[in-house]
Structure 1
Amino acid sequence: MTFTPHGKHLIAGDWVATDAKFDNEPAEGAPMAFSMGTVELVNLACEAAEEAFWSYGYAPRAERAAFLNAIADEIEARADAITEIGCLETGLPAGRLQGERGRTTGQLRLFADHILKGAYLDLRHDPAMPDRAPMPRPDLKLIQRPIGPVAVFGASNFPLAFSVAGGDTAAALAAGCPVVVKGHTAHPGTSEIVAEAIHAAIESCGVHRGVFSLVQGGKRDVGTALVQHPRIKAVGFTGSLGGGRALFDLCAARPEPIPFFGELGSVNPMFVLPGALAARAEAMGKGWAGSMTGSAGQLCTNPGIAVVPEGAEGDSFVAATAEALKAVGPQVMLTAGMAKAYRDGKARFDGRNSVRAVYTTESEGRSASPNLYEVSSAAFLEDHALTEEVFGPLSLVVRVPEAADMVALAKGFEGQLTATMHMEDSDEALARDLVPVLERKAGRVLVNGFPTGVEVVDSMVHGGPYPASTNFGATSVGTLSIRRFLRPVSYQNLPDSLLPETVG
């Protein structure tokens, strides 16, 4: 099935074109033209979302669950076409797109099942005590209720799972919140076909058309208008630290400040403990090389730093990593701009006398090849730039004089999405000292694994202290992410006939 984009926005059920156009940057084939977003389109979409909320936000859970499942069905009905356009635009391999599509439909179905179970509502009831002295107690019921329309910014590195019908959209729709998506310019054709799937589900389920809109492209004023529109009550974002922080500040500066749930950046440090080094240095090095170069290193959980004790066993780990990287050829990056940013990041390391090049390559055009560097812990702690994420297959080994020095080094890290320990039973004492530090620094703490690969399950946390994310109490993956788009309401002495259908 071949898909030819029409290049229009979806605004409350209508496909709308604008005079101004922008081209995508496909990894293969000729560029395609798409209509440029405008502030006027944002206004129309947000007002339609508010109108839709009065029905969709109060619809029975079964209806919302059916809608989520219908979206998943419509995406699967376009499976081959989604893979084709996604590969053309992003340069990602077909297998990666197919797996990501399965994750996307899987999380839609997961949320459908989750809201049907009802536990997310956190129902609480304190019955009236009319005879209590000295004052009677009223009847009180508490329930989580949807907050209203939500804005979602599509991510560049996940054209499906963190984009138009990705985790933020799925969680918001499950909660009962209409969604306005600002599509990412790296893959507008992929965004369009997924929006068509959502539109088809809206039509088949009879949902209010304002429940979903997609605005493509546009200058900075389009994103600004979206986060500052008075109808929008929360924002979901996955992207760069600079862009996310700018939107976060705009949300805070509104007359009515709203929460900004941004995932911004992480180097995901790994701590390689001595027992693990002695037992399996070579295997860990190979594993790290595979994890850091998967999807050209363009994953938010890419393990960009390994903290390793000095000595021969640490040297073996570094050598095994470098040897494994030699087998990794150039990979196409998502956009030409990201490829340039990767080269600029490498230049930052090459220009530091404190950093030793272990294995380096030259990247050209839109491709990226892996690079590995090494630095002492003392130099690392003195140079904050070494802690900044380089988006791509570049990693840094930080050597500590003694294994016990890992604890002090861990305290110096900023917030992370993940933190990993590679350990054996003999490392338990050191691991026990590390865990309290790592759990303060990261949203997910791993042992003997690699953080790339995020399970979409009830127990997943994909978030962390700033700058990993802007809200350390939230996650953008897993069923707990629905809480971002809910707020508690207490009902005092309301007749059952006036309560939401989930309370009575």
Structure 2
Amino acid sequence: MTDTAVEEVDRIARAARDAFRTTLAADDRTRAAWVRAVADALDADAEALVELAARETALPASPRLAGEVARTTAQLRLFARVVEEGSYLEAAIDHPDPSTTPPTPDLRRVLRPIGPVAVFAASNFPFAFSVAGGDTASALSIGCPVVVKAHPGHPETSRRTAEVVSAALAAAGAPDGVFALVEGFEAGLALVDHPAIRAVGFTGSVRGGRALFDRAAARPDPIPFYGELGSLNPVVVTPGADAERGAALAEGLAGSFQLGAGQFCTKPGVVLVPHGSTLEAALPGHLAPQPRLLTPAIAEGFAAGAERVSNLDGVEVVATGEAGDGPAPLVAATDAPTLLRHADELLEEVFGPFTLLVRCADEAERDAVLDAMPGSLSATVHREPGEDVGALVGRLEELAGRVLFAGWPTGVAVSWAQQHGGPWPSSTSQFTSVGATAVRRFQRPVTYQDAPAELLPAALRDDNPLGIPRRVDGRLVLP
């Protein structure tokens, strides 16, 4: 891996700032064409990209990496549709009203792009959360130039992807400086510090994310840091669900927490079950050999975390699978009182093929465990019809940004209604990093007061030349 010199980071960031003057003036259809061109180029080079990523990461080419490229290009095209549809601008118009107290002048509000964005690529998704991933797609689509800090776990894949993206943007007419890649630890720090950078997107560990979060806040001009960090994604299995379909739930849980060798941010890491559960009894039969973990650091972290949990008094290993190219999958179990005594150790994420079962004697123990849980990206409840879980859902809603009532949290659809973000430490904000409203992270509101019509953004003109949804005098007006 070739680290980018700090002087080169400065040049790249300045070029991004210069490009912003052009992207700010570009209309939505033009920017949509840019990101569609990137999607088309990635699709055209998908076979070579998948082959390269498979060599670097040991992830299977099919269906995993091929599917991930398809997801990456699909989300680029989604954001093209988002900006063309126009509601992302949240355009609002209040006409003058002298009868209010105080009198209302002509006020018109719209969301504008924040400026150049630094994106830190993830280790566990070499395409969908990496160089051309969701952060890059959402920022570019609304007019924010992007500088990506490559992840060292797949440098060649990152460089090849960046070449494809850069060439596609240039061919589509995007300005020089609208996209760039940097590599290396010091380059990443310099990027966060650079005054041209106006926001940071990050996917990674709590430790690394918190350090960068604090650094962004400590700048002379603090900037927003949108981090997706650690998540336990608790699952609650009610007595009724366990009795009725505990064996089937065990199979589903095994598939979810071992998916991708447990290296998904939505892996179910803590599962609350009744004492003597059918799920716990059936789970050992579904463990499978695991592939190599993505990086040596992840492998070391998994080994340390598994040892930490397994050696605690009151925790037992209830199942361990065979080791493949990677570590043996592990299921540990404890009871609610032990969990509460050792919450600091047991509620720290173990990234990899591990899950912890927590045996709860009743609803009071279950609720006490949930009250001790840190924030998560998701929370799941499996219940049977007739079981009253209204209060439980309220607790899960406080814990997570996405609450599931069927299935398992691994697998995050890219759509208009998706929410991928939750309370700390799962993320550093209330916004999503997946789905249509991910663009909101990289926008800021501007209100124009008594502005001449010819100086207004097109989204705020009375004749609505963009044909977008707007709120006019308090009423939603559709085109």
Question: Could you tell me the TM-score, scaled by structure 2's length?
Answer: 0.93
- 1:434 and 2:392 equivalent? yes
How far does residue 363 in structure 1 lie from its aligned partner after superposition? 5.0
In the alignment, what sits opposite 2:419? 461
Equivalent runs, 1:317-332 vs 2, <5 Å: 317-325=279-287, 328-332=288-292
How many residues were matched structurally? Answer: 459
Residue aligned with 2:47, SS: helix
How far does residue 349 in structure 1 lie from its aligned partner after superposition? 2.0
How far does residue 404 in structure 1 lie from its aligned partner after superposition? 4.4
- 1:300 and 2:265 equivalent? yes
- 1:45 and 2:40 equivalent? no
Cα 1:495–1:88, aligned 2, differ >3 Å: closer, same or farther? same
In the alignment, what sits opposite 2:177? 210
Query: Which segments of 5 or more consecutive residues in structure 1 lack a partner in the other structure?
Result: 1-21, 23-34
Query: Which segments of 5 or more consecutive residues in structure 2 lack a partner in the other structure?
Result: 462-479
How far does residue 345 in structure 1 lie from its aligned partner after superposition? 1.4
Residue aligned with 1:444, SS: strand
Cα 1:133–1:127, aligned 2, differ >3 Å: closer, same or farther? closer
Residue pair 1:309, 1:403 contacting (<8 A) in 2 also: no
Residue pair 1:52, 1:210 contacting (<8 A) in 2 also: yes
Q: Distance in 2 between matches of 1:84 and 1:133?
A: 65
In the alignment, what sits opposite 1:380? 339
In the alignment, what sits opposite 2:306? 346
Residue pair 1:273, 1:403 contacting (<8 A) in 2 also: no
How far does residue 37 in structure 1 lie from its aligned partner after superposition? 1.7
Residue pair 1:416, 1:441 contacting (<8 A) in 2 also: yes
How far does residue 320 in structure 1 lie from its aligned partner after superposition? 0.9
Q: Distance in 2 between matches of 1:369 and 1:267?
A: 20
Residue aligned with 1:502, SS: helix
Residue pair 2:335, 2:359 contacting (<8 A) in 1 also: yes
Question: Could you tell me the TM-score, scaled by structure 1's length?
Answer: 0.89
In the alignment, what sits opposite 1:105? 73
How far does residue 309 in structure 1 lie from its aligned partner after superposition? 1.2
How far does residue 153 in structure 1 lie from its aligned partner after superposition? 0.1
Q: Percent identity?
A: 48
Q: Distance in 1 between matches of 2:381 and 2:351?
A: 22
Runs of 4+, deviation exceeding 6 Å: none
Cα 1:110–1:45, aligned 2, differ >3 Å: closer, same or farther? same
Aligned with residue 497 of structure 1, among 446, 454, 467: 454
In the alignment, what sits opposite 1:449? 407
In the alignment, what sits opposite 2:439? 482
Name the aligned partner's letter for residue 285 of structure 2. E
Name the aligned partner's letter for residue 313 of structure 2. N
Aligned with residue 236 of structure 2, among 254, 260, 271: 271
Cα deviation digits, residues 471-494 of structure 1 (max 9, x gap): 1x1110001110000011001111
How far does residue 133 in structure 1 lie from its aligned partner after superposition? 8.1
Residue pair 1:373, 1:395 contacting (<8 A) in 2 also: yes
Q: Distance in 2 between matches of 1:80 and 1:209?
A: 27
Cα deviation digits, residues 54-78 of structure 1 (max 9, x gap): 0112210000000010000000010
Q: Distance in 2 between matches of 1:449 and 1:270?
A: 11
Q: Distance in 2 between matches of 1:250 and 1:115?
A: 31
Residue pair 2:254, 2:286 contacting (<8 A) in 1 also: yes
Name the aligned partner's letter for residue 174 of structure 1. S
Name the aligned partner's letter for residue 412 of structure 1. A
How far does residue 132 in structure 1 lie from its aligned partner after superposition? 4.7
Cα deviation digits, residues 394-416 of structure 1 (max 9, x gap): 11100011244322221111101
- 1:256 and 2:221 equivalent? yes
Residue pair 2:263, 2:353 contacting (<8 A) in 1 also: yes
- 1:82 and 2:44 equivalent? no
Q: Distance in 1 between matches of 2:370 and 2:101?
A: 55
Aligned with residue 169 of structure 1, among 132, 136, 143: 136
Residue aligned with 1:483, SS: helix
In the alignment, what sits opposite 1:159? 126
Cα deviation digits, residues 97-155 of structure 1 (max 9, x gap): 011111100000000001001001111101124x6589764211110000000000000
Q: Distance in 1 between matches of 2:341 and 2:14?
A: 50
Residue pair 1:270, 1:305 contacting (<8 A) in 2 also: yes
Cα 1:134–1:206, aligned 2, differ >3 Å: closer, same or farther? closer
Residue pair 2:92, 2:460 contacting (<8 A) in 1 also: no
Cα deviation digits, residues 2-48 of structure 1 (max 9, x gap): xxxxxxxxxxxxxxxxxxxx3xxxxxxxxxxxx22221121111100
Q: Distance in 2 between matches of 1:480 and 1:333?
A: 32
Name the aligned partner's letter for residue 222 of structure 2. P
Residue pair 1:407, 1:433 contacting (<8 A) in 2 also: no
Residue aligned with 1:102, SS: helix
Name the aligned partner's letter for residue 74 of structure 2. G
Residue pair 1:64, 1:173 contacting (<8 A) in 2 also: yes
How far does residue 156 in structure 1 lie from its aligned partner after superposition? 0.2
Residue aligned with 1:425, SS: coil
Q: Distance in 1 between matches of 2:211 and 2:159?
A: 26
How far does residue 362 in structure 1 lie from its aligned partner after superposition? 7.1
Q: CA RMSD in A?
A: 1.5
Residue aligned with 1:331, SS: coil
- 1:183 and 2:129 equivalent? no
Residue aligned with 1:158, SS: coil
**Larger deviation, residues 194-203 vs 459-468:** 194-203
In the alignment, what sits opposite 2:87? 119
Q: Distance in 2 between matches of 1:52 and 1:332?
A: 41
Q: Distance in 2 between matches of 1:388 and 1:115?
A: 39
Cα 1:205–1:400, aligned 2, differ >3 Å: closer, same or farther? same
Residue aligned with 2:407, SS: coil
Q: Distance in 2 between matches of 1:133 and 1:292?
A: 57
